[in-house]
C-alpha cells in the first residue's frame, strides 16, 4: 500500500496561508472539495473538526495528520499541505505544524484508513525526509519527494 495510491499532484498545497488550526483545516477542506467532484468543503470541514475535538492530530515534530471518515466517499483520499510559517495546531509538543497530511476515508474503510495513517507516520519520523519536504521548491517537487519515499519503503 502506497500513499501515492491515494494522493495526486492536484491534492498538494505547497504553501498554506493559515496560521491558526481552524483556518488551516478550512483551507484543506476547500482544496480537497475543489479537486474531488461531489465533495462539499463544509462537510469535509465538519468531519475533520469533529475528529480534532477528540484530540489534536498534531503529532509533534511539526507534523499533523487530520483525518476522518466521510459518508458517501468512494475511496480513500490523501491531501498534503506545507506551511513555511507554521500553524498553531495544538500539537502534542506545543510547537507549530509545518507538514500536514489530510486523510479522508469512506465509512467502511477502517483497515485501509489505519494502514495509511501508520505509513504516513513512519515516513515522517525520518528527520531528513521532513527537511526535504520543507525545502522543496513547489507542489511538483513535494509530490516527487513523497513518491520517491513511498517507493523506497
Catalytic residue check, 67 = yes
Rounded to 5°, the CA angle 134-135-141 comes to 95
Give the residue ranges of DSSP H helices in the chain. 21-35, 41-54, 110-124, 127-135, 139-152
Q: How far is CA 149 from CA 4, 133, 144, in A?
A: 10, 11, 9
C-alpha 98, offset from chain centre? 11
Q: Any idea what DSSP says for residue 18?
A: -
Q: Which of 7, 21, 29, 67 is catalytic?
A: 67
Give the residue ranges of DSSP H helices in 65-107. none
Just list the catalytic residues. Answer: 67
Amino acid at each position: 500500500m502506497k500513499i501515492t495510491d491515494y494522493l495526486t499532484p492536484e491534492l498538494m498545497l505547497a504553501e498554506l496561508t493559515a496560521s491558526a488550526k481552524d483556518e488551516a483545516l478550512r483551507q484543506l477542506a476547500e482544496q480537497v472539495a475543489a479537486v474531488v467532484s461531489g465533495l462539499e468543503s463544509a462537510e469535509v470541514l465538519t468531519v475533520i473538526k469533529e475528529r480534532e475535538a477528540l484530540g489534536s492530530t498534531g503529532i509533534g515534530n511539526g507534523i499533523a495528520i487530520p483525518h476522518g471518515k466521510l459518508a458517501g466517499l468512494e475511496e480513500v483520499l490523501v491531501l498534503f499541505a506545507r506551511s513555511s510559517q507554521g500553524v498553531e495546531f495544538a500539537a502534542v509538543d506545543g510547537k507549530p505544524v509545518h507538514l500536514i497530511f489530510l486523510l479522508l476515508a469512506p465509512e467502511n474503510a477502517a483497515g485501509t484508513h489505519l494502514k495509511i495513517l501508520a505509513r504516513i507516520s513512519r515516513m515522517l519520523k525520518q528527520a531528513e525526509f521532513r527537511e526535504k519536504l520543507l525545502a522543496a521548491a513547489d507542489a511538483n517537487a513535494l509530490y516527487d519527494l513523497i513518491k520517491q519515499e513511498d517507493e523506497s519503503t
